[in-house]
Amino acid sequence: MRKIQIQVLGPKIPCNNCIAAQKNVEDAVKRVLFPDVEFDVVHEDIASKETLEKFGLLKSPAIVAGEYVLFQGMIPNVDKVAKKLADVVALNVSPSKAPSSGSSSCGCGCR
């Protein structure tokens, strides 16, 4: 079984926006049912040394699947998260190779 970790990145003590984003991710995971994929949703400190080294400076809340930043600086609705997760799984690519959601701050889809 393939396991995809989904990180909701925000302050060490989650703010209301991060809590809402994580709830939407958890609800989306329930909608995206694939027999060979298990999603693991975790909250991580956006300001930790590891997070900053791995992803650079991000806007909170940020949602990351594997190595790929799916959303940042927004609370995506459940449908948007579910679609992005389904795309990642359906394309059978690692999250780091998934098509861009265009959610970067410059709008070009880069990280």
- pLDDT recorded at residue 91: 62
Specify the DSSP element, H or E, that contains 69: strand 68-72
Question: Which backbone phi and psi does 46 adopt, to 5 degrees?
Answer: -65, -20
List phi, psi (to 5°) of 86.
-65, -40
pLDDT surpassing 60 at residue 110: no
pLDDT confidence tier of residue 93, bands split at 50, 70 and 90: low
- pLDDT tens per residue, range 24-66: 999 999 988 888 899 999 999 999 999 999 999 899 999 999 7
> What domains does the chain contain, in order, with CATH numbers?
2-97 (3.40.30.30)
pLDDT band at 104 (very low <50, low <70, confident <90, very high): very low
